[in-house]
Structure 1
Amino acid sequence: MLRQVLHAGLRTSFHALGRFVASHPVFFASAPVLLSILLGASFSRYRVEEDVESLLAPKHSLAKIEGNLVESLFPVNRSKHALYSDLQTRGRYGRVIVTAAKGSVLDPAHLDTILTLHSQIYQMQVTVPTSTFNYSFSYLCLHDEKNVCIIDDIIRAMEEIQLARSSNRSAPALHYPITRLTDGRQAYIGHQLGGVQGWGPGGSVHGPRAGARGEGVRSARALQLTYYLQGRGELMDRVASQWEKAFCTELQHFAALHPKLGLYPSTSSSLKTDFQFSSVLARRPLLASLGLCGVLAVLCCSMRDCVRSKPWLGLLALLSVTLSGLTAAGILNLTGATYNSTYLGIPFVMLGHGLFGSFEMLSSWRRTREDQHVKERMASVFEDVMLRFSGSTLIHLLTLGLAASPLTNMEAVRLFCRTASLAVTISYIYMLSFYGSCLVFTGYLETGYRHGCFCRRVPKPDRLDSKPAWYRCLMYTRYQEETQNHREPHPQDSHLLLGCVRHCFGDWITNTYVKPFVVLLYLVYISFGLMGFLQITQGSDPSALVAMDTATVSYTRAQQRYFSSYSPVIGFYIYESAPYWNASVQQDLLEYAKGFQRISWLEAYLNYLSERNQSTSQPRENFTRTLRHLFLREPQFAHFADDIIFAERGQGEEPDLAASRIFLVAKTTENKREEMSVLLDTLRRLSLTSRVRFLIFNPSFVYLDRYATAVSSPLRHSLLAVLFLLGLSSLAVVEPLVSVWLGLTLLSVQFGVLGFMTLWGVELDCMSVLCLISALGHSADCSGPLLCGFASGRGDSRTRWVRVALERHGVPSSAEPSLCYGAALVPVGSVRSNLTHTLFRCLVLTAGCSALHTLAFLPTLLTFLPPSKTRGHRPEGEGPRQAVECVEMNDGNTRVVDQITTV
């Protein structure tokens, strides 16, 4: 009872709204245009998001907290001896990987060239517009305790080799991954030297003698250099930004002069620039998408009948979507929001939903009585379509709105869904107002018996006989014949898709011999979806979301090729005072670092004590005094002073070791990020049970930490919210079986898209999750009207109502939008960007799986599964009216029972 009351109230409200729009078409057509123009003027406030890490990394994660603690204890500026390029990367820097096309980068010719490059970068000068001072790297760099720029240890080792060769001395042995410099200091160069081959069998890197810390290097294919910059204040930050640009330009010139070397630069701003570059590359393809979609929309709105044909409505539907996007962008500009490349998916969310609404309204218009007034026809269209269109809009807003809530831990997902929710809301309003008023204007043209394209009055049949054949074909119509002779073919048969569905596809898909093959196809669909679902991988690497042929991609590929033998340097930070002089604590710390390549002050200090026949387990005062006054003053151990923080206790007492750090490096394989994720979880679990309070950190952990949960939780929340909404609406608005079928369809489409995108090589990252969230609304747009149309029928057979539902809703809600939507996606697939490739593949799968369910799976399954068509017969007194309904429905001149007036 409640369902009938709500249905009647909503249909009455939409009927009145349609009449109101039809009564004021000029206002509803001009107001959206003026509002869009006014808000579009706000593009002078257009701003691009600068912080890519905040977009692509989980917003709330333990790694970010640990990173802030590490930065407070051991800031980059505190390091006065050595820096590790893949550990301290939060400031400004310039980095380059140098590869040799032939031979080794340690060959004399290549070595001299690389040192020449280093000298040029060191002497390079830049200026800023507000200052006339020339800034060189020696001014911008981080300085050591002697006020000399900190450079990579591999540069010192290469300078030593060059000096030895120039003086005809034997070059010092270079070991890998830990080598010893001439000053006695041990340096880790695993992140600076790549593609290393040693003197062992088969080129393996084996130490020349047992017990050696390093391993002899025979040749190396790649070399990585890093130049750290200071960023103190706004002026220095702008100078550092200019230096990074000059750094890339200098490397381009140097690479042109030395073709035997390959140079792959990267700076602190490369990821941001290359991530936003996808938007620049996609500008023209988006315009091409709009053009292709417009052509298909015009064809879908055209009929052979020149009066009923409304090609302009296809373009006006796209104009409505464009105006709503312009309005939404204007609101974002006025509110100070920023843009990023993930917003490239928002036009397609709007396009899919807008095409569904426009084609449904046009299809309903064609089913109204042509002898009615335009206002009555418009009111009937709103009464018939707007309930379904509003329901699908509500599903869009619910899925996007929940993903835009503070529950979402991924900032890129939250911002995308917030903006998409705004765009869908405005698109819904403009579809009611602007497109509705355009439908009113074309209705008046149809009433005046004017051509749907040229707006010229069509001559009567007797006047057309004297015209040429091309003119008669152009002005072909059966308007008057159909109103007088009901034996003529159905007027909608002049529409190609509708005629095919009415006479061919509907009968074929419901054929008894076709159904088993469709069921078998669905089982194959589920099987391949499951195969892909079991192979889902995380896409936590931010370089997988940038444009191709950019510095970030080239640098990442070179790094994966030459520097994948070892993990990035992991900082092992002991952030509380610990009894390092205790033998059991020493044993625990040494056990934790066992199996890693390590640079450890504690291990070096214990070896130092052992070499001097001193006990490693000493009283605190003796242990600290020897550490401060003897060990750290040795030249080969002086750099460990950067790794220890002392805290004063009192006058005359030795200070405590408040905090310290050691550096660990793990041996890795090709799956570097997966191994780093496992290593992170393992060491964190160990830190919970350890007596020594420690944490581990590397900047890449910010992207790895809880990434799978942060990415997948918005999708789970949106899916559960939609299922809850469908369950709640089944109590009051829609029939329960419709909600059940729609929920199962959404789950099936999501499962298929998720599985097939994995088989297509798409990882689960923020962009693919955004597409999956929007796929919920898209699949509801396609399958919802078909299910409602089938469930609303009573009597007759299931097969007949499936055919009726396909004719009424299969074409306007699935076939026509899918054709236009697919055409719009074609240019996007040609953009040279990883982000747009992910977008293209996910949206193509979404459109394909949704259309497959609407046009194949559901029509077949509904012929032998509930809801039943034997319930809901009318009383005997209404038998004649029911017979009239069946006749009128087959004839197609009426749309609903309320419009039947005569028999």
Structure 2
Amino acid sequence: MLSSWRKTREDQHVKERTAAVFADSMLSFSLTTAMYLVTFGIGASPFTNIEAARIFCCNSCIAIFFNYLYVLSFYGSSLVFTGYIENNYQHSIFCRKVPKPEVLQEKPAWYRFLLTAKFSEDTTDSEETNTYESHLLVCFLKRYYCDWITNTYVKPFVVLFYLVYISFALMGYLQVNEGSDLSNIVATATRTIEYTTAQQKYFSNYSPVIGFYIYESIEYWNTSVQEDVLEYTKGFVRISWFESYLNYLRKLNISTGLPKKNFTDMLRNSFLKAPQFAHFSEDIIFSKKYNNEVDVVASRMFLVAKTMETKREELYDLLETLRKLSLTSKVKFIVFNPSFVYMDRYASSVGAPLQNSCISALFLLFFSAFLVADSLINVWLTLAVASVEFGVIGFMTLWKVELDCISVLCLIYGINYTIDNCAPLLSTFVLGKDFTRTKWVKNALEVHGVAILQSYLCYIVGLIPLAAVPSNLTRTLFRCLFLIALVTFFHCFAILPVILTFVPPSKKKRKEKKNPENREEIECVEMVDMDSTRVVDQITTV
């Protein structure tokens, strides 16, 4: 909108200038807002099984909606107010009328510095210049950059640079792994980081200590139940009162299949009284019944699984196996560790967001197919989005960013961001006729390049504070968004302008045969001097 406002003339009526701005920018802005609302709306829907992602998408939808209302109301009013200030030759900051040059020269230096303006009441139509054309960035694009990027000697280097970009992106893409580092979701300067670093360095081959909780009374004295419990915990490094008690009975040459009363009395009065087994007393809960009979109502054991350092998925598979077993086994038990909360999060952090991102991408392509004036625009947008997303995934992996919930949400956002920046360039290029491809590439950059560049600079300035937050979660967000902005900028100002200059179809219009109805009538007027000597034949087209 600001770019459209600067393209209008300052001598126009404010209503005409405002109408031109809204007619030029509000249609695309409304469609962009609709796409953002749809994609984040899918993330805020019940399809997303991660509450943090749902809250983030819901807040984003609310922010985008109020931003749209803000642009329609307050920002539009601000443009009108600015237009009346310019018409009255008032200063844009102090709102005071700018003095004439001869009056301004009599004022102090600080006054001249604050109230100097580029226009005055003495400006005539012949002296009138378009302020937008004299803008620094516009001059840079028109005079230098457009000619440089479309230069025949520059194009091979840009193509080579793009091949290098694809190579590094592919190298990172082949190393993508799902987010499984718990230190990514906590602040950097905490004990948790020190713990997870030491644990991964020295004990990464072992799982966290898993609590195995039997939450109902079972027949511990029954040999078949004993075999079932031992089978469930088979393959683990066990810290178990149950296994220690059975070994204790075997050492005393006592059968493990004792009657219930003898089994319980031996456990309470002999096993737990021994100093080496006294610590197991906190793992067993006894309860007396109405007939003074003692029963074990609940107990716990601790398990540690050995996993491979390079295959953290084994821990997820182990967790799912134990949970499924707890639902089907005769013995009712649960398994838990505080880290399982984060493992559940990471186990589902990629599947659902990737599903939502695919739905969003398909919807955007379907939605844009009905909005674009030429299907070739949709093809170019699809290729641009695919190239940007591929590069972002590869480079974020090389930047040590794992594919977790936050990074996938950023990839969903990257689809909209790429379309938002590339669509104006591609639309102007594809819809242009009668000139060469190079001419329309230059025209597209001249028309939309400044707006894209200014938007990119404002976007980067807004991202900089995220880099200072001492949190790995926020750092992941910063890195992903920064890569999306950087790669999209690289495509808008380098890749697309070069590729569009030599990729078919051609822009040259075929010569049409002249119809007899559109014949040109030629009138020949012969000029003769006084001596009847021919001087010149003058031909006039009627």
CA contact (8 A) 2:372 2:378 kept: no
Aligned counterpart for 1:725 among listed residues 340, 355, 364: 364
TM alignment of 1:20-169, pairs within 5 A:
none
Percent of pairs identical after alignment? 55
Shift in Å, 1:431? 1.5
Sort the Cα spacing of 1:451 and 1:796 in 2 relative to 1 into closer, same or farther, 3 A: farther
Distance of 2:491 and 2:38 partners within structure 1: 22
Describe how 1:706-785 pairs up with structure 2 within 5 A. Answer: 707-732=346-371, 734-785=373-424
CA distance in 2, matches of 1:761, 1:738: 35
Whether the 8 Å CA contact 1:605–1:627 is kept in 2: the answer is: no
Q: Distance in 2 between matches of 1:817 and 1:677?
A: 43
**Cα distance, 1:695 vs structure 2:** 4.2
TM-score, normalised by the number of residues in structure 1:
0.50
* Alignment partner, residue 263 of structure 2: 627
Would the aligned equivalents of 1:571 and 1:662 in 2 still touch at CA under 8 Å? yes
- 1:692/1:511 Cα in 2 relative to 1: closer, same or farther (>3 Å)? farther
CA shift at 1:799, angstroms?
1.8
SS of 1:547's partner is coil
1:464 is displaced (CA, Å) by 9.7
Tell me, yes or no, if structure 1 residue 412 matches structure 2 residue 48: no
Alignment of structure 1 residues 434-449 onto 2, 5 Å = 434-449=74-89
Answer with 734-743 or 579-588: which moved more: 579-588
Residue pair 1:687, 1:695 contacting (<8 A) in 2 also: yes
1:469, 1:868 → 2: CA distance? Answer: 58
Q: Is the 8 A contact 1:548 1:834 kept in 2?
A: yes
Q: Which has the larger radius of gyration?
A: 2
Aligned with 1:598: secondary structure?
strand
Superposition deviation, residue 815 in structure 1: 0.9
Deviation at 1:644, TM superposition (A): 5.5
Tell whether the 8 Å contact from 1:795 to 1:872 is kept in structure 2 after alignment. Answer: no
In structure 1, what is the equivalent of residue 72 of structure 2? 432
Counterpart for residue 35 of structure 2: 395
Confirm or deny: 8 A CA contact 2:158 2:498 kept in the other structure.
Answer: yes
Equivalent residues in 2 for 1:571-720, closer than 5 Å: 571-574=211-214, 586-587=226-227, 589-616=229-256, 618=257, 622-634=258-270, 635-636=273-274, 637=277, 640=280, 643=283, 660-667=299-306, 676-684=315-323, 694-705=333-344, 707-720=346-359
Between the aligned partners of 1:462 and 1:644, the Cα distance in structure 2 is: 97
**What residue in structure 1 maps to residue 530 of structure 2?**
none
User: Which deviations, in whole Å up to 9, do the C-alpha atoms of 1:48-83 show, x marking residues without a partner?
Assistant: xxxxxxxxxxxxxxxxxxxxxxxxxxxxxxxxxxxx
Which of 126, 132, 139 matches 1:484? 126
- Which residue of the partner structure matches residue 470 of structure 2? 832
Contact 2:213-2:335 at 8 Å conserved across structures: yes
Distance 1:525 1:478, change over 3 A: farther
Give the structure 2 partner of residue 511 of structure 1: 151
Spell out, residue by residue over 1:618-660, the C-alpha distance to the aligned partner (whole angstroms, 9 max, x if none): 3xxx4433321212322135665655578999989997x7765
8 Å contact from structure 1 (residues 794, 873) kept in 2? no
Partner residue of 1:276? none
Task: State the match for 1:367 in structure 2.
Answer: 7
Equivalent of residue 816 in structure 1, options 428, 432, 454: 454
Give the CA deviation at 1:826.
Answer: 3.0
Distance in 1 (alpha carbons) for counterparts of 2:514 and 2:361: 40
Equivalent position SS for 2:349: helix
Q: For 2:361 and 2:33, locate their aligned partners in 1 and report how far apart those are by CA, in whole Å.
A: 12
Secondary structure at the aligned position of 2:418 is classed as helix
The alpha carbon displacement at 1:842 in A equals 1.9
Q: How many angstroms does 1:482 deviate by?
A: 8.8
Hey, what's the Cα distance between the residues in 1 that align with 2:36 and 2:493? Answer: 22
SS at match of 1:430: helix
Change (3 A) 1:743 1:649: farther
Secondary structure at the counterpart of residue 826 of structure 1: helix
Q: Distance in 2 between matches of 1:552 and 1:606?
A: 38
Letter in 2 for 1:788: S
User: Any conservation in 2 of the 1:395–1:722 contact (CA below 8 Å)?
Assistant: no
For 1:799, which of 424, 438, 445 is the aligned residue? 438
Task: State the one-letter code of the partner of 2:188.
Answer: M
1:345 is matched with which residue?
Answer: none
Question: Which residue number in structure 2 is paired with residue 242 of structure 1?
Answer: none
For the pair 1:844 / 2:482, whether they are aligned, the reply is yes
> What residue identity is the alignment partner of 1:404?
A
* Aligned residue runs from structure 1 range 236-635, under 5 A: 361-369=1-9, 371-449=11-89, 475-476=117-118, 483-484=125-126, 491-554=131-194, 556-557=196-197, 566-574=206-214, 586-587=226-227, 589-616=229-256, 618=257, 622-634=258-270, 635=273
Give the drift of 1:561.
Answer: 6.2
Tell me the amino acid that sits aligned with residue 852 of structure 1: F
Q: Aligned-pair distance for 1:822?
A: 1.9
CA distance in 2, matches of 1:402, 1:508: 42
What are the superposed Cα offsets for residues 325-355 of structure 1, whole Å, 9 maximum, x if unpaired?
xxxxxxxxxxxxxxxxxxxxxxxxxxxxxxx
Which residue identity lines up with residue 499 of structure 2 in the other structure? Answer: L
On the 8 A contact 2:98/2:116 being kept in 1, the answer is: no
What is the CA–CA distance in structure 1 between the aligned matches of 2:290 and 2:480, rounded to whole Å?
65
What is the rounded CA distance, in whole Å, between the counterparts of 1:773 and 1:840 in structure 2?
A: 15
Which one-letter code corresponds to 1:856 in the other structure? A
CA distance in 2 between partners of 1:376 and 1:509 (Å): 36
Query: Deviation at 1:441?
Result: 2.3
- Residues 211 and 335 in structure 2, CA contact (< 8 A), matched pair in contact too: yes
Aligned CA-pair RMSD? 4.3
Give the whole-Å Cα distance in 1 for the aligned partners of 2:411 and 2:87.
44
C-alpha displacement of 1:580: 5.4
Secondary structure of 1:741's aligned partner: helix
Q: 1:528 to 1:803 in 2, by over 3 A?
A: same
Unpaired runs of 5+ in structure 1? 1-360, 881-903
Alignment of 1:883-894 (within 5 A): none
Q: CA deviation at 1:848?
A: 0.5
Q: Residues 790, 573 of structure 1: CA spacing in aligned structure 2 closer, same or farther, 3 A cutoff?
A: same
Kindly indicate whether the alpha-carbon contact (under 8 Å) linking 1:396 and 1:776 is maintained by their aligned counterparts in 2: no
Shift of 1:570: 1.0
TM-score if structure 2 supplies the norm length? 0.79
* 1:399–1:776 contact (8 Å) kept in structure 2: no
* CA displacement, residues 376-416 of structure 1 (integer Å, 9 cap, x when unaligned): 12111111111111111112111212111122222221111
**Conserved 8 A contact 1:408-1:710:** no
- Secondary structure of the 1:762 match is coil
Change (3 A) 1:376 1:552: same
Q: SS at the partner of 1:632?
A: helix
- Deviation string, structure 1 residues 873-898 (Cα, Å, up to 9, x no partner): 99999xx9xxxxxxxxxxxxxxxxxx
Q: Is 2:503 the partner of 1:861?
A: no
CA shift digits 1:599-627 (9 cap, x unpaired): 223322322332232344x3xxx443332
Q: Tell whether the 8 Å contact from 1:798 to 1:869 is kept in structure 2 after alignment.
A: yes
Distance 1:873 1:431 in 2: 46
Amino acid at match of 1:548: T
